[in-house]
Structure 1
Amino acid sequence: MSKKNYESENSRRNFRKSRKRHRVLRYVLLSLAVLLIAGSALAFFEYHRLSPENHFSNLKAIGAAGNNSKNYKEKAGTFNVLLIGSDARKSGTASHTDSMVLIHADLNKHTYNMLSIPRDTRVYMKGYGYTKLTSVQYISQVKKGTKQGIVDAVSAVSDLTGVPIHYYAETNYWGLKDMVDALGGIEMNLPFKVTLTHPWYSRNQGKTFAPGVHQLKGEMVAELTHERYSLPGTDYGRQQLQQAALIGIAKKIMQPSNVTRLPALSRSLSKFLVATNMSTEDMVSVGLGVKGNFHPEKQIKYRQVKGHSATMYDDLLKANNSQIILDSDELKTTIKKYFSN
């Protein structure tokens, strides 16, 4: 073969190799592009599916009470959740409701209206009659089981307020304590002087806290939110302390230094919560809704409905006892203004 022909053949071989290399490169790039597009499409689909306006739409209410709520307009991106604080023990199957907070979350406007309902509020319990709210969950759990007891308590609050409730989350003393400690403690801005008169631990009996900001660990946060007898307005004063604790927790969670703790916190939810019907996807969607635009002190608003104490006949206990009767007109006005869409 002449030198000229050899160089020509060699050139053709190099060209074919070059084309092959480019073809392989194109296939690799095409494969990467497909993977990227597929991954992006999946991420977009997941984001689209879990974005609050899509995820929180056409929600089912808990129990029959919420489904029968009248004059309630619901829009996408909003939901109602009942936070339940109870005296549940780890080995127990029934618990008394210690506090209840109804939250209307609007992830479109980034507002979170909260209404605390006193534990002694007079409510109607199907099959029994009128009794205190604190008794509903306990009796129902004794008779029907743990989950149904929570559902009945949620239904009682829904009947009382006329608001459909989509989710519930129950915690107890130990759950609150563990959550605060997992965050490394929180700041609570106390609106008034607090003296512990019936603490969980006798060592805390009589401890006094001045109004203002306090750096607190889990035990003391749980003690403060349990106090009521030394507070102005008793249960209404307790509501203000609950608000201070929730704001303190929210502010601490949203600190950049705590972002790395969130996966561990999410994996430990069973440690903090006695019970909830919120799924992981529900929680992710909430996270998408509040991410980057969460200012607890401005966006969390506590609403109060005044009531009066009265000695009333308790159909459940078959005896007279002291109950709180909420002002029905004020309740309707508050619900219409802050808890309806």
Structure 2
Amino acid sequence: MELPQWDGASRINIAFFGLRGDDGQGEGCPTCTDTIMVLTVDPVTKTAGMLSIPRDMWVNIPGAGYSRINTAWAIGENAKLPGGGPALAMQTVSQFIGVPIHYYVQVDFGTFVSFINLIGGIDVYIEERMVLDPLGEGPDHFVLKPGDYRHLTGPRALAYARCRHESQGCSGGDVGRAKRQQQVILAIRDKVLEPETFATLITQAPQLYAEFSSGIHTNMSLEDAIQLAVLAKDIRVDDIKRGVIDNTMAIPADTTINGVSANVLRPVPDLIRILRDEIFLPGGPLSPMAQDDAVTLMQSDMAKIRIVNNTYSADLELRTATLLNAQGMQVMEFGVPTGYASHTKVILYTSKLYALRYLKDLFGLESSQIVIQPDPVPTVDIEIRLGEDWVNKLSGGY
């Protein structure tokens, strides 16, 4: 599947899928998606939202007719369609809720557990008494008591996110599970955005991306993932809207699938659209500012710049500052040279992504020449370390 290119300004929608896999529960269909959640982020308004879709929702799967929405991935895989299961699942979700899906992310259970352990576990507020077992039936169960935050390791966080049976104290069935999964996502967000954890993850991002690549399946590039992570620091939890399509927006019904009787949920489109609009419409599918040119977007960031001249070309930093100031940037200071460099490097300390994209195009930077290094108390937003390549480009009229 071809990687899409995010412009850093448009609203972006990401579908998260959790495959059932061989979970030992005897439900079959290991490539059916037990979890379907759409995350939306608006870089301009600094808002986000999460919408969970029940796995039993009865929808029209493109090219396959009506079935449960959680079978789209399996149908795409089994039919060996272009893009396989991910492409058909994305298309099905997009058609159902009426918004474009730009990216998908599917995380294996083992990788989820490993990542939670990597960040030191998460803290989740428990609202009801639960008896959970991360390894299935057996002596390894644990009890979560209500009324306080509980620290969950990777295996326990997975058990909490997957629980849906009343016998375990997990109320609400699939709807209750979806709400708990959103709760886990926010808890991961809180832990990841802790200054020390965030700095470590960003610094080690390339190594972690390679290490977890076998268990994380996505069409999102590492560069876009890092940009989203930096953007997330500026989105307050109160500006993240949450919604679950529940039984008030769908009618339980009986049908047959491949000659076998099945319980499904038939959607009530008008009610689902109301919830969708509450989560997705602020700022629009495409934020108004995203339609502006790169200079206007860069100027809206009001980024503060430090320039370091790592070449033998005298006054290169002054000529560069004159150019950037004329374009609407704010060059605040000049840094001490760190040693001769053949290639320019840009270091981003904050979430000024429009300014970063402008500089990337201006200097003709490759991803390897961009370093994202969050600083909780930055004196500038971006540091530009000029290299010999900029001397040649500037003298040629760039």
Cα 1:203–1:294, aligned 2, differ >3 Å: closer, same or farther?
farther
C-alpha displacement of 1:248: 1.0
Q: Is the 8 A contact 2:124 2:187 kept in 1?
A: yes
Cα distance in 2 for partners of 1:266, 1:141 equals: 29
Cα 1:289–1:223, aligned 2, differ >3 Å: closer, same or farther?
same
Residue 304 of structure 1, aligned match among 244, 249, 252: 244
CA deviations on 1:164-210 (whole Å, 9 max, x unpaired) are: 101111112112111101101111122333333x8543346754322
Asked if 1:84 corresponds to 2:17, the answer is yes
C-alpha displacement of 1:56: 3.1
Residue 201 of structure 1, aligned match among 136, 146, 167: 136
Cα distance in 2 for partners of 1:245, 1:321 equals: 30
Asked if 1:239 corresponds to 2:175, the answer is no
Cα 1:87–1:204, aligned 2, differ >3 Å: closer, same or farther?
farther
Matched residue of 1:119: which SS?
coil
Q: Is the 8 A contact 2:209 2:222 kept in 1?
A: no
- Tell me which residue corresponds to 1:264: 204
Cα 1:94–1:321, aligned 2, differ >3 Å: closer, same or farther?
closer
- Tell me which residue corresponds to 2:386: none
Matched residue of 2:115: which SS?
helix
C-alpha displacement of 1:311: 0.9
Letter in 2 for 1:262: I
- Tell me which residue corresponds to 2:145: 210
Q: Is the 8 A contact 1:247 1:300 kept in 2?
A: no
Cα distance in 1 for partners of 2:71, 2:139 equals: 27
CA deviations on 1:280-305 (whole Å, 9 max, x unpaired) are: 221232134234x243x323321122
Cα distance in 2 for partners of 1:137, 1:88 equals: 12
Cα distance in 2 for partners of 1:312, 1:86 equals: 23
Residue 266 of structure 2, aligned match among 325, 330, 333: 325
Cα distance in 2 for partners of 1:205, 1:125 equals: 40
- Tell me which residue corresponds to 2:128: 192
Q: Single out whichever of 102-111 and 219-228 deviates more from structure 2.
A: 102-111
Asked if 1:56 corresponds to 2:10, the answer is no
- Tell me which residue corresponds to 1:44: none
Cα distance in 2 for partners of 1:312, 1:278 equals: 37
C-alpha displacement of 1:145: 6.3
How do 1:1-341 and structure 2 match up within 5 A? 55-56=6-7, 76-88=9-21, 95-144=31-80, 147-196=83-132, 199-203=134-138, 207-211=142-146, 212-230=148-166, 231-258=170-197, 259-269=199-209, 271=212, 273-291=215-233, 293-295=234-236, 297-306=237-246, 307-314=250-257, 317-340=258-281, 341=284
Cα 1:210–1:301, aligned 2, differ >3 Å: closer, same or farther?
farther
CA deviations on 1:30-88 (whole Å, 9 max, x unpaired) are: xxxxxxxxxxxxxxxxxxxxxxxx9536xxxxxxxxxxxxxxxxxx4311110111134
Matched residue of 2:14: which SS?
strand
C-alpha displacement of 1:147: 4.1
Cα distance in 2 for partners of 1:146, 1:308 equals: 33
Cα 1:106–1:192, aligned 2, differ >3 Å: closer, same or farther?
farther
CA deviations on 1:69-119 (whole Å, 9 max, x unpaired) are: xxxxxxx43111101111347xxx962201010111112222211110111
Pairwise CA RMSD: 2.5
C-alpha displacement of 1:233: 1.8
- Tell me which residue corresponds to 1:10: none
Q: Is the 8 A contact 1:87 1:172 kept in 2?
A: no
Q: Single out whichever of 238-247 and 325-334 deviates more from structure 2.
A: 325-334
Work out which of the two has the higher radius of gyration on C-alpha atoms and give 1 or 2.
Answer: 1
C-alpha displacement of 1:229: 1.5
C-alpha displacement of 1:136: 1.7
TM-score (norm 1): 0.70
Q: Is the 8 A contact 1:55 1:285 kept in 2?
A: no
Cα distance in 2 for partners of 1:146, 1:86 equals: 19
C-alpha displacement of 1:125: 1.7
Cα 1:194–1:326, aligned 2, differ >3 Å: closer, same or farther?
farther
Cα 1:207–1:324, aligned 2, differ >3 Å: closer, same or farther?
farther
Cα 1:338–1:207, aligned 2, differ >3 Å: closer, same or farther?
same
Letter in 2 for 1:220: R
Cα 1:274–1:287, aligned 2, differ >3 Å: closer, same or farther?
closer
Q: Is the 8 A contact 1:56 1:78 kept in 2?
A: no
Q: Single out whichever of 325-334 and 158-167 deviates more from structure 2.
A: 325-334
Cα distance in 2 for partners of 1:225, 1:77 equals: 30
Cα distance in 2 for partners of 1:177, 1:107 equals: 29
Letter in 1 for 2:13: N
Structure having the higher helix fraction is 1
Matched residue of 2:191: which SS?
helix
Letter in 2 for 1:56: D
